Structure 1
Amino acid sequence: MNVKRVLLIEGCVNLFICCVKLFVGISANSAAVIADAVHSFTDVVNNIMAWMATNIANSPADKDHQYGHQKFEQLAVFGLASLLSIVAFEMLINAYNRFGQAVEQNYLGLIVLTGTLVVNILLTIWQRYWAKKLASDLLEADASHTLSDVLTTIVVIVGWQLAAHGYYWLDTVFAILVSLLIFYLAFKLFQRAIPILVDYSDVDPSAVSAEINRLDSVDSVVRVRSRKVPNGRVADLIVTVDPQLTTADSHLIADEIERVLAKKFNIQDVLVHIEPRHRITDHET
């Protein structure tokens, strides 16, 4: 089993759940259930985009993408967040237009919808198992998304049953709640993708400089830059050392700096540029 196969199986299950919910929603004339079906469809789109992004992200670096393709995964997440925002807005409009319309009881549909709830619970547990086994952040995030489907379906079932007993306006209220939940999911996805896409730095340069300056072999830290990447953090820095040191000694200093950054700041990819002290001083003056 690998990440792509897990996503493929999950996509097939989500497509089935989407079709079932849409059938029940149309049969019962429930805006809340239809909204939940649309939400499930976005899960299918999410699985497709995640599968494609994983395929591209795992591609080796080439002449056009010399730093690799890892950011394609975050582009897919950004695209999904945009899609979710549009879907949530459309659901709000649809819920408003259907306000007060009669909602029908459908016990067979209720049983079927409850069945999809159980399937989603089992799917969440299964995804989390493989996310931990494969050490995949993407599967872990997707499992959290599937868990939100469980909560959404519970809310939808409660709203549908109340509306079917004559409280028609509650169907619209619960449809709006589902829309707001989708907006929240979109916000969390934006929050995850944007910092990586814009090279956001979540490490304090002064803290890094302070740790590096503790090393006896380092004269000073001239510059520290870091950024988030899909699999952690990367950094590059310029330090000055005694100009009398050999190339081999300078290399050992760079190795020591890499170990410090990995241990203290969880920065696993580091580029250290070492300059002789007088060269920096002459340049600055």
Structure 2
Amino acid sequence: MKNIHIKAVVIGAVLNILLFFVKLYVGISSNSLSVYCDAINNLGDTFACLIALLGFVIAKKTGEKKQLKIQSLCTFVISMIIFVTGAYFVYNGLERLMYPLQISYSNQYAIIITVTVFVKILMGFMYMAFNKKKPSPVIKALITDSFLDCAITVFALMGLFLITRVKFAADGIFAIVIGTAITVEAFKSIIEQAKFLVND
């Protein structure tokens, strides 16, 4: 296992934890559920990178067949984290629909969240560059997650924007949409990796 994978997930972990704190600030300041959920998603991505890092470090000391097993197991665990995060979003979205709260919108918040979208896009391309040099199912999962996160953040931004123009809890609806998308994609990955782990 090359150090290039370790470098990729270390950079990913650092960027994701920074995105978590930025989005958490905006989510709490604006009282936006969709932005808050997006922040939690980045926290989950940070843990995913740390799990991947642990897997790559262990895999460096094993044979090629065991490396594939370890990477598959890491991908499975990462997908489980993402799945639980998605379910958490859906739950909170339903709760927001039942108990709507006042949202504080500002152009400053919108600009900050827009910048985080471009950060995630750059992360996706970074992972792609690393994966071209040495393909890995773990890095492939992080690529998919990065670009999915871009769409999620755009939805969060839309929820933050629309809440000032509609009289129902649009924020909760966007949280449900975000959570459903994450849950479905994570479930697909869980099934794929489970099949590999059981059949190999």
Contact persistence 1:10–1:123 (CA under 8 A) = yes
Spell out, residue by residue over 1:127-168, the C-alpha distance to the aligned partner (whole angstroms, 9 max, x if none): 111211223332222111101011111111112100122344
Q: Which moved more, 1:81-90 or 1:109-118?
A: 81-90
Aligned mates of 1:3, 1:87 — CA distance in 2: 24
1:43 aligns with 2:45: yes
Contact 1:156 1:174 in 2 (8 A): yes
Greater fraction of residues in helix? 2
Say which structure, 1 or 2, has more relative contact order (CA 8 Å, 6+ apart): 2
Cα distance in 2 for residues equivalent to 1:139 and 1:42 = 16
Q: 1:12 aligns with which of 7, 14, 21?
A: 14
8 A Cα contact 2:72 2:137, kept in partner = no
- Whether contact under 8 Å (1:58, 1:70) holds in the other structure is no
How far apart, in 1, do the equivalents of 2:51 and 2:24 lie? 22
**Distance in 1 between residues matched to 2:132 and 2:156, nearest whole Å:** 30
**Structure 1 segment 88-127 matched on structure 2, within 5 A:** 88-99=86-97, 100-127=100-127
Of structures 1 and 2, the larger Rg is shown by 1
Give the Cα separation in 2 of the matches to 1:10 and 1:164: 33
Deviation of residue 69 (structure 1)? 4.8
Report deviation, 1:44. 0.6
1:181 is aligned to 2:181: yes
More strand by share: 1
Query: Does the 8 Å contact 2:48/2:78 carry over to 1?
Result: yes
C-alpha RMSD over aligned residues: 1.9
Q: Is the 8 A contact 1:102 1:168 kept in 2?
A: no
CA deviation profile, 1:56-102 (whole Å, cap 9, x unmatched) = 223225xxxxx635322222222222222222222222222222222
Q: Which residue of 1 aligns with 2:74?
A: 76
Q: Of 44, 54, 57, which aligns to 1:55?
A: 57
Unaligned runs of 5+ in 2: none
Q: Which amino acid aligns with 1:50?
A: A
Q: Which amino acid aligns with 1:129?
A: A
How has the CA–CA distance of structure 1 residues 176 and 78 changed in structure 2, closer, same or farther, with 3 Å as cutoff?
same
Q: Distance in 2 between matches of 1:91 and 1:117?
A: 19
1:46 deviates by: 0.9
Question: Which residue type is aligned with residue 91 of structure 2?
Answer: I
TM score, norm. by length of structure 2: 0.90
Deviates more, 1:30-39 or 1:98-107: 98-107
Any conservation in 2 of the 1:103–1:168 contact (CA below 8 Å)? Answer: no
Distance in 2 separating the partners of 1:179 and 1:50: 23
C-alpha distance in structure 2 between counterparts of 1:123 and 1:53, whole Å: 20
Task: Provide the residue aligned with 1:276 in structure 2.
Answer: none
Structure 2 partner of 1:192: 192
Residue type of the alignment partner of 1:186: A
Moved over 6 A (4+): none
Whole-angstrom CA distance in 1 between matches of 2:172 and 2:129: 36
- Deviations for 1:209-244, whole angstroms, at most 9, x for unmatched residues? xxxxxxxxxxxxxxxxxx4xxxxxxxxxxxxxxxxx
Cross-structure match for 1:27: 29
